[in-house]
Chain A
Amino acid sequence: MTKRVLVPLDTTEATQDILPIAAMLASTGAAVRLIHVASVPDNVVTPQGRTVAYADQEMARVQALWSDSLGDTAARLHGAVDHAVRFGDPIAEILAEAEAFGADTILVTTGTRSSVKRALLGSVAEAMLRRAGVGVLLYRAPRDP
């Protein structure tokens, strides 16, 4: 049985559409972890060359922002739902989190932009399936043309 589900969420509306599926999985008793992978921030520098925020501060800000947002989302799902924020390459970080979480299934939306649809199917899903033992639940969002 699917017992541990990793749900990568990003800013696109497509990922909001997969929440009912995450809710369905949570209702089967699976532990669900929502994860957002943000890109590693650079120092924020004004045009005058003055550094107004260092990468670590920016990272803490992004981390807090997403933690709040994912926490709110987790609260809207019944069951054992927690969340995590990671920085770096989405695929590598999702796989690392899957490993750390002991995920047996990863919920993947095939994206809203048709140009990346193939890439998503090709890269994220394939990379995940390459790791034997991890199933992938692929979902094409309703608002995807």
Chain B
Amino acid sequence: MAVVPEYPAQHILVATDFSESAEAALGAAARYARVLHARLHLLHVFSGEEVEVTRLLADAAGKAGPDLGVTVAATGGDPAEEILRYASRQPIDLIVVGTHGRTGVSRVLLGSVSERVVPGTRCPVLVVPVPRPSAPSSPVPSGVALDDEETEQPAPVRPCLVCATPSHDLICEPCRARIRGEALERKQREERAGRP
């Protein structure tokens, strides 16, 4: 049976406006780049006069990690158009963008930028959500923010399906242990009885 060939992602473009949402996108893009040994392209599109772009981009590139190959670029204009232009001129295989899910206009979930980028490119577009606003915010130093485990948000607390005590899991740990124990007992009983 033919093995499915892997999609080659060697150049990953991440667009940033230095917002929280863009930070999440950068974190995801950096992790992909690291695992796939891909080059990271960090693009900032500014409208009008923008100060300190170079410093901000350098900061962002630094957050992505010193072990990554990063290309930074800044250009003025319409974000979606410039992202598409950059992706068509460089050998980009994957575009990563943030979504302004909960901040600002809640109706525009995909974000006007990603909504216009997707139909305009053959690249897969990864839309990265902002970390849950409901989660208890721990003051994570920005240097650690891109680390794998630190960006993991705890699951929301909800009643356990079995005993209805509040839990982070669908079935709380004590109940799971009990179910596991019962299953094991059953299996042992069946084995003793000589059944398959």
Contacts and interface: CB of A to CB of B under 8 A. Distances in A.
15 contacts: A1-B32, A2-B28, A20-B6, A22-B4, A24-B8, A24-B9, A76-B4, A126-B110, A129-B101, A129-B109, A129-B127, A129-B129, A135-B128, A137-B126, A138-B124
A31 to B, nearest CB: 14
A76 B3 CA distance: 4
A121 B127 CA distance: 12
Contacts of B118: 110, 121, 138, 140
A28 B4 contact: no
B121 A140 contact: yes
| A interface SS class | mixed
Contact of B1 (A24, A75, A117): A75
Give the size range of A's interface with the partner.
35 or more
Contacts of B1: 72, 75-76
| B interface SS class | loop
B4 A133 contact: no
A87 interface: no
A113 interface: no
Contacts of A76: 1-4
